Amino acid sequence: MDTRAILDHQFVVAAYTVTWVLQLGYVAWLGLKWRAQKRDAARNHRSPRS
């Protein structure tokens, strides 16, 4: 492989890595938001306001 092909491959790998990190981070953020909503709903269900 020549230097240009190696560099192109490294950029592709870096792009895929960044994309996967962003996607997994977003899924983790959604999971945390969902857990917080579920906890708040359970708290409001147990102690209704008068």
**pLDDT tens, residue by residue, 1-50:** 799 998 999 999 999 999 999 999 999 999 999 999 999 998 888 766 64
Six-digit token pair at 33?
A: 């938001």
What is the distance between the alpha carbons of residues 28 and 25, in angstroms, rounded to a whole number? 5
| DSSP letter (8 states) at residue 38 | H
Please report the pLDDT score of residue 14 as a whole number.
Answer: 97
Rounded CA gap, 41 and 45, in Å? 6
Q: How many C-beta atoms surround the C-beta of residue 21 within 10 A?
A: 10
- Looking up tokens 């960044």 gives 18
Whole-angstrom distance, CA of residue 32 vs CA of residue 50: 29
